[in-house]
Structure 1
Amino acid sequence: MVELETRELEYVVAVAEELHFGRAAARLSIAQPALSKAVRRVEARLGVQLLVRSSRHVALTPAGEALLRHGRHALTAVGAAAEAARRAGDARTRLRLVIKPGGDANLLSGILAGYAEQPDARRVEVVFGGATDRADHVRDGRADLALLYAPFDDLTGLASETLYVEGRVALLPRGHRLAGRAEVRGADLAGEPLPRWKGVPWPAVPGEPDRSAAGPEIADVPQLVQMILLGRTIAVLPRSLVGPVYPGLVCVPVVDAPPSRLVVAWSQLDQRPLVASFVAAAVAEGRRRQAAEVANAANTANTTSLTATTAPRDDA
């Protein structure tokens, strides 16, 4: 038995978010008395009080907080299901891929070229997301796939395949005490202020030790660059996200930092063949790129060794 209809859930979530019946009613485009009655009906049906009301104040009870938390997820899932059904029934459906500007490790053109060769290939619409919201684009149906960085981005509810593994670098102002180093270790950065990305809990990377101080809250890369130039923070980022280096900044490898993984991610519930075809093309391009870099590194090492072996000696 379904105890709540979607519309009722929307009503309760709106009031819980606004904590004001008037604002919630305006947001929902319904009359305030009708909204109040609808919320009371939900409380009566569930047998719990969701809101504490007074003439000037609305507050959530523990039951209301629980319904808000789970209700948001439920509404997102319903919206995503409807959008997925529409796209699955449309033979002209395009694939939507969300990425961070510059956040493809230079793989995107190769991925798109490889996918275009698939017999079931569709047109791919590339959407640019923000620093922290790209996974949400996939969860709520605004995008079919995303390029994300693990472990920085939250992959909850998403399936993923690794495309590219790389090291991390510290982005420092040119006058920083570590700016002249060829490399640094995590211990060298202890106590340094790291940015707090807007909407992301601190520390930003789950499972990593919090060895640094919380720096300013950052919403996007231009803000991050400005704060680093002002000496208010530093950043430790995947190498592919830093280049070319901005004037006034220095990029130094963090040799003991856990590697970063660029992944292609999609909803665990999305089993469409066209999504699988895109993932296969992305994985193939990632493997090709990684193998080419390994081969180049081996050739460079061999050339260096040969040069050292054949270099003339000065015995005088």
Structure 2
Amino acid sequence: METRELRYFVAVAEELHFGRAAQRLAMAQPPLSRAIQQLERRLGVVLLHRTPRAVALTEAGSVLLREARTALDAVEAAERRTRRAAGDQPGVVLAAKAGASRELLSKLLAAYAAEPGAVAVEVMLCGPGEPEFLLRTGRADVALLHRPYDTTAGFDTEDLHSEQQVVVLPKGHPLANRARLSFEEVRTEAGLPLPRWPGRDGGHPDGAGPQVRDHTQLFQLIALGLACAVVPESLREQLRDDYAVVPVPDAPAVTTVVAWPPHSRSRAVADLVRTATRLQLRAGGQTGNT
């Protein structure tokens, strides 16, 4: 299969309409239809059910869509990393979630800068779920990720820090004085909805509340009495007095990891990972905020 064919198929599979897919690809519809038919003949399977009114993926088509996205992301990542390696100024791009791992990130950058042969580090601070995406697509060389919020499958990783979770409630909430709450009690007794997170951040417990993009927006909604949220315990350091925080012992622990592509041969990435691991060992596993 050619990457061109995969791009054609992904466009049709996502649009489920040949006309819209052709428009998205800036090409005519007939050659697009022929390309998909040729791909089906080569694979010996039917990828799409076509009727005069609708286009639907077959089971084989669903599998190819998933695999094609992964393959195209890998090609895109290879292109970006190759161009970056050929640049005049060597450097490494580190992705992290804005507002998370602040202490760890600060210590890591300072410790790495003191290393012999350290290169410039470009830090990309972004929303929930985005560091993983940036790493998979080659926009970042290394990332700080947080299980179970981020998926680390396909990456090499080193665990840096684990912590429990708490529920954040508005100040004066009826449950604010409880010593602990179960996750089920948060759902059924808090009287406030959990937020909805962006699709890429599937590890967050999703609720029926307002959709949020980041923790700043989330905490404002909580202060207004419009939502509650289960978050890593270290985030309480960012909160003012108008919040109540209660431990949720049965919520899954959150582990901060440093992640990088397994095929990476970058010395800068290796040195950055080594520095992060050394910081973790010095702190006895208690380094940083998630």
Normalising by the smaller structure, the TM-score range is: 0.7 to 0.9
Based on CA coordinates, which of the two structures has the bigger radius of gyration?
1
Q: Which amino acid aligns with 1:13?
A: V
The alpha-carbon deviation at position 145 of structure 1 amounts to: 1.1
2:170 and 2:243 in contact (8 A); partners too: yes
Cα distance in 2 for partners of 1:195, 1:216 equals: 4
* Residue of structure 1 aligned with 2:208, choices 203, 206, 215: 215
Matched-pair contact (CA < 8 Å) for 2:91–2:268: no
Identify unmatched segments of 5+ residues in structure 2. none
**Native 8 Å contact 1:105 1:241 kept in 2:** no
Cα pair distance change 1:246/1:36, threshold 3 Å: farther
Change (3 A) 1:11 1:190: closer
1:199 aligns with 2:216: no
The TM-score with structure 1 as length reference comes to 0.79
| 2:132–2:151 CA contact under 8 A, matched in 1 | yes
CA distance in 1, matches of 2:253, 2:49: 48
| Matched-pair contact (CA < 8 Å) for 1:196–1:202 | no
SS at 1:264 equivalent: strand
| Equivalent-residue separation in structure 2 for 1:255 and 1:281 (angstroms) | 31
Q: CA deviation at 1:203?
A: 6.8
Q: Give the conservation status (yes or no) of the 8 Å contact 2:80–2:138.
A: yes
Alignment of 1:158 onto 2:191:
no
- 2:70 counterpart residue number: 73
Equivalence for 1:307: none
Change in Cα spacing, 1:177 to 1:64, as seen in structure 2 (3 Å) is same
Single out whichever of 117-126 and 252-261 deviates more from structure 2.
252-261
Task: For residue 75 of structure 1, report the CA deviation from its aligned partner.
Answer: 0.8
Equivalent of residue 101 in structure 1, options 91, 94, 98: 98
Asked whether the equivalents of residues 48 and 56 of structure 2 are also in contact (C-alpha less than 8 Å), the reply is yes
For 2:114, the equivalent position in structure 1 comes to 117
Q: 1:276 aligns with which of 267, 270, 276?
A: 270
Which residue in the other structure is 2:254 paired with?
260
Question: 1:21: Cα distance to partner?
Answer: 1.4
Cα distance, 1:291 vs structure 2: 7.5
- State the TM-score, normalizing by the size of structure 2: 0.85
The equivalent residue for 2:232 is: 238
* Aligned equivalents of 2:174, 2:55: Cα separation in 1: 51
Shift of 1:290: 4.8
DSSP-derived class of the 2:208 partner: strand
Secondary structure at the aligned position of 1:128 is classed as strand
Give the % identical residues: 44
Question: Cα gap change, 1:46/1:255 in structure 2, threshold over 3 Å: closer, same or farther?
Answer: closer
d(CA) in 2 for partners of 1:291 and 1:60?
46
Which contiguous aligned blocks of 4+ residues in structure 1 show a shift greater than 4 angstroms? Answer: 200-203, 255-258, 289-293
2:135 is equivalent to residue 141 of structure 1? no
* C-alpha contact (below 8 Å) 1:95/1:122 kept by paired residues: yes
1:37 corresponds to which of 30, 34, 37: 34
Quick one: distance in 2 between partners of 1:200 and 1:5? 27
Secondary structure of 1:177's partner? coil
Q: Higher mean Cα deviation, 249-258 or 115-124?
A: 249-258
Asked if the contact 1:245–1:251 (Cα under 8 Å) also holds between the matched residues in 2, the reply is no
| Structure 1 residue 8: Cα displacement | 0.7
Task: Say if 1:197 and 1:7 are closer, same or farther in 2 by CA, change over 3 A.
Answer: same
Offset at 1:234? 2.1
CA contact (8 A) 1:16 1:68 kept: yes
Retained in 1: the 8 A contact 2:150–2:203? no
Aligned to 2:44: 47
For structure 1, list consecutive stretches of 5 or more residues without a partner in the other structure.
206-212, 294-316
